[in-house]
Each structure stands twice: as structure tokens, then as C-alpha cells.
Chains A and B, each alone.
Chain A
Amino acid sequence: MSDIYISRGKFPEITGQLMARYRVYAPVLKGEYHEFAEIEKTEEADLGYQNTRLSPKGLFHPHAERMFEYSLVKDDPQAGILKEAPKDFSPRVVLGIRPCDAKAFQLDDVNFDTTAYQDPWWVRRRQTTTLIGLACNEPCGTCFCTSLGTGPFDTAGLDVLLVDTGEGYTAQVLTQKGKDVVGITSGWESVSRAVSEKMEGLRKSAEDSLGRQFDFDPIKQKDMLELFNASFWDEVQFACINCGTCTFLCPTCWCFDIQDEVWGDKGDRIRLWDSCMFPLFTFHGSGHNPRNQKLQRVRQRFMHKLKYYPDKYHNGAACVGCGRCVKFCPVNIDIREVVRRMSATCVCPA
């Protein structure tokens, strides 16, 4: 299927056609920042956004999710027996997601969907969701996607890629799901040569603006223990306050806690995002804590993304260069600087 085009003025009609058949999630301005939310009116979708503050991981792995529910009524024969909590898995479209964030879902898939175990909620949401991406014409100063194998126009994690060409949007249909979704919409035209050239120019200028900010490959060759025992962690962790902002915003931080909550004689088992920045994360019942020091926790986060994950899954780094952790870290810890330290092949004399 060749690329198609629609003028800016007609695009809300496409959104409306999608909303008639799907639950549609799009970037919505809430307060100072955008976030992905289900829209009820086409004008709520703001495709003029830069990126959301919070990554869209919550669309598949909600911040708080009811897993099971149960009765605690005395003498109820079903008391204490967990039942699946009902959930809505009807088809969804995520409209306007950035290519880096879509790519992040693929990196997360290897954790949630393995040969041994499948996280049923993650997998079903992935199956029933179509991702219509929006290329990044103007990446931010904290972005570094092209240094990690993705990019502002990367199609890898998407079903459809839209490019904002000023007067309208081009759409590149990438998968069967994408085809199905675009198939229910109408009003598209073929892409003119002028628009096609403009699109190519936008791609090039976006990619060029990012450049190659570091070389990740040397980390793959390095020994895990050598990196683990490196002296630079002390400097990396110095300013960290273990606030966990990086882990909450990150599209590839999936760690979660499981807790029970009880109201009267009913209860839920829920899961909640958790963070390796917090000492309780690894605190044993015995009182022992294998990561009781801040340095250990900071090292865990970077080693997981840049060494443990690549070694385990041979899938590159668990980072897509979205830059959220760089932009919102209250003490200016920059993962790009950490990558440079981890990949350095020589130690400069002092």
C-alpha cells in the first residue's frame, strides 16, 4: 500500500471515523503537560504536541491495575478465592504516538511475553491496540533516539506512521492492523511529489538534528562484572536523591509491585508501578537488603537498561532515547553521560 495524504482541515474527520469504531487514545493537554487519554471529541487530540511527560506505557501496563477480586465474607464458600477482575479489551487506536515510545513497547514485549510465561493483560492489550504514530519533525534537545537504533521517523514499533507536512498529514501503512484501521477511514488522497519531497526533507533534518551522541556498541563487548565494579558509579550516584522520577517517566521501566487492598468484606489484588530507586524494592522479610545503598540502586537502573537487558535478550539497550529521564531529573543526571562512561575504552590520566 503506497503512502496516502490528507489535508490538515480534513484530519479531524479521520479521527471521528476511528472514534466510531474504536476507543481512541491521543495526546491531550492536561495542565502544563500532554498525556495519552481516551478522547471523546476529535478536537481533544492535540497532534501539535512535542511529547508527553509521562511515557504512554500506562496504556498497556497501567500505573495501578486491578488483577483479581475476591470476597472475604465469612461462610461464603468462595471467600478467599481470587477471580479475574473484569477489564475492557475492546479494540483501541493510539493516535499520534511517537516512534520512540512505540519502539519501547517492543523492548518491553520480551519481558511481558515470553515462551515460559505470558502476562495476559499486557499481551491482550498489545493484540487489540493499533498504533498510529506521528513522526518527530523537531526532536527536543534531550532526545537521542538515533544513537540507540531508533529514530524520529522509525516505523519499527508502529502500524501506521503519520508525518505532519505542514498543510496535512501523510500516512504510511505498515502492518495488517494498520491496513484494517486505515481501511475504515475515508477522504485520503495520493501523495503528491511535492509533499513526498517535503516529507523526506523533514526526515533528514530531524535525524540530522539529533546526530550520533554516543556509541553504545562497546558496552555489549564489555564484561558485566567489570562494568559493575567500575569506580565511576560513585560519581554517577553522587547527586541522585532516589526520587524515582526517571523510572516513572521511562517507557521501558516496567517494574511493578503486587499488593492486596481490602474494603470491608471485599478485596482486590492490584499491581502498581514500582521503582528500583526505592530501598523497599529489594528489602527481604529477614531485614537483609541486597541493594540498601543508593549507589547500588542507581547502578542497578543503568546496568539493567544498558548491560543486563542487552546481555539477556540480545535486543539492544532497554532505552529508546526519549530523553524524559534527562529532561525531568531534578539533579541533572544524564543517561547519555553514563553511556559514555560505560562505553569508554580508555581511562584518561588525571
Chain B
Amino acid sequence: MNNPYLPYPVRIDSVVTETEDRNLKTFKFVFLNPEDEQKFKYNPGQFAELSIAGLGEIPIGIATSPTEKGFIKFTVNKVGKVTNHLHNMKEGDIMGVRGPLGNWYPWDALEGKNVVIIGGGFAFTTLRSSIVYMLDPANRSRFGDITVVYGARSPGLLLYKDELAAWEQRKDINMHITVDGTNDPNWKYNVGFVPAVTKQKAPSAENSYAIICGPPIMIKFTLPVLTELGFPPERIISSLEMRMKCGIGICGRCNIGSEYVCKDGPVFTLEQLSKLPNEY
């Protein structure tokens, strides 16, 4: 019997500090056993448990796209026991990854549709996965217009800066990068909160889905903007976070009403959430 609690052993291949506050690092992992990589088949939107022997596990969204082969990446915020230890680990260290876990953004439903991606702060990891996935030459023609609104408090807190700059240069994706504020005289992009920038850029709701990930306050003020733009609740998709242990719907702690965020989620439409208790 396959043991769903047993992590695949991985080696840290690289560590990149993403933000100027040094609280976010991206870890690139390579599977120790090549056959494990074959088993780890994922879709953008899924997460995994990062496992460190002696410390425990943490549920983290997968930041790479399945179109990127040979490795997986996770961007981890330093908050607790496991993440603090992980931030001190280095290239070559051995740890574990267990997954992929949870559901994913509804790629079949998104086919042939315009996709509006709205992200804030460090909740941009599975959104990066989604953008890379859609921009892959094999996939780009499957989707209509791609619009991205991504905000952080300051330029130094944006993730994946090189890729953001590269996407800005492309014609097949509309990028709207924004910061809450900056003193940088050379800042070329937007200044303003994500809800305001979304309203200003007003992506069309026609034949479109919106995927929104970010801090609760951003989501709270962006949802009315999307509704005003004409997005119905079944075409607004969000990904939730919850304290988790097993990640496979068994240990019981991450439920919202009858649904487990780890197994039935983390991706829910606004319509699904409206039928569940507001307890997240």
C-alpha cells in the first residue's frame, strides 16, 4: 500500500532570497530518486508538504509550472519553526516533499477563456506557476487574453522580479505591476492598492475568469471591484490557506464547513465559498 504520509527525499539545488526584507526565499528541489519526479505529477494551483526531519512539515503552494522539468520550486515566508530552519538550510541539504496535494485551478474550464490574475504580496507563488504554464508555447493558444495585476507594499517586496520584467516585455500578456508606495524615482510601474489598480485597468469580464490570491484585506476590497466589472461568483476563483497537518483530508483540522481545504480545496470559486460558513 502506498503511504501518503511518506515524503519523497529531495536535495536543495538552490536558494534565492526574493525580497529586500529577506523574509522570502525560493527553494529549488531536485528529487533524489528520478522515479519520484514521475510520480509527482501536478497542476498549477496545487501545494505540497515540505518536510524537515526533526522539525515537521509545512503546506506550501508549488511555485513551478509542470512545464518546467527536472525540479520543483517553493517560495517560503519565514514565520515559524520549520520555515525558520528551512531559511537556514543550504544547497545540497536533504529534506522531503510530500504531494502534490489539493485541487488546482480549473484548467479545463479556463480553456478558450480570458484569464485575469490578481495577486498580492507573497501569495503569488501558484499564480507564477499558472502564468508560466499558460505562457508555455504548447499552452498559450489554449487561452485568450491574460491580464495580471500584482501588487506588493514596495518594489523590494515583489517576488520573481526578473520574470516580472520579462513578462512586461511580452505582447501576449498584459502586466499591471503595482506597489502601495515607493520613493524610487525610477519606478516605472503603477502605484496604488490592488483593488484600485484593478478598477482602473478594468479587465473585461466578457468570456473571462478571475483568479485572486492575496492577503484577506486585498481580497475583501477586490471582490466588489470584480463584481462591478461583471464577473459572476462562479468565475471568480480563489485559493485558501489553512493550518494543515496531513494534507489529504484525514487529520480533520482544515475544514470550512463540510469541505477540507487540503483535499477539497485549496481552490474554490466564490460561488462555492458563499455556501460555506465564513470561518477561514
Interface residues, chain A, CB within 8 Å of chain B?
67-68, 70, 72, 79-82, 84, 111-112, 114, 116-120, 123-124, 224-225, 228, 254-260, 262, 267, 269, 271, 274, 276, 281-286, 288, 290-291, 296, 300, 303-304, 307-309, 311-312
Contacts and interface: CB of A to CB of B under 8 A. Distances in A.
Interface stretch (B173-181, B193-201, B203-211, B241-249): B241-249
Interface stretch (B112-120, B131-139, B141-149, B252-260): B252-260
Contacts of A120: 1-5
A255 B165 CA distance: 46
The secondary structure that dominates the B interface is: loop
Given A224-B275, A276-B253, A304-B255, 17 more contacts: A70-B53, A70-B54, A79-B53, A81-B9, A111-B250, A111-B252, A114-B249, A117-B248, A118-B4, A254-B250, A255-B252, A258-B251, A260-B54, A285-B243, A290-B242, A309-B258, A311-B258
Nearest to A312: B258
A285 B79 CA distance: 6
A118 B51 contact: no
A284 B94 contact: no
Q: Which of A72, A117, A228, A256 counts the most chain B CB atoms within 10 A?
A: A117
Contacts, number: 135
Interface string B251-272: 1111111110001000000000
B277 interface: yes
8 contacts: A72-B54, A120-B4, A124-B1, A225-B276, A228-B277, A258-B57, A304-B255, A308-B257
B6 interface: yes
Interface residues of B, number: 48
B276 A224 contact: yes
A271 B55 CA distance: 13
Contacts of B95: 80
Nearest to A309: B258
A131 to B, nearest CB: 21
Q: Which of B32, B80, B243 counts the most chain A CB atoms within 10 A?
A: B243
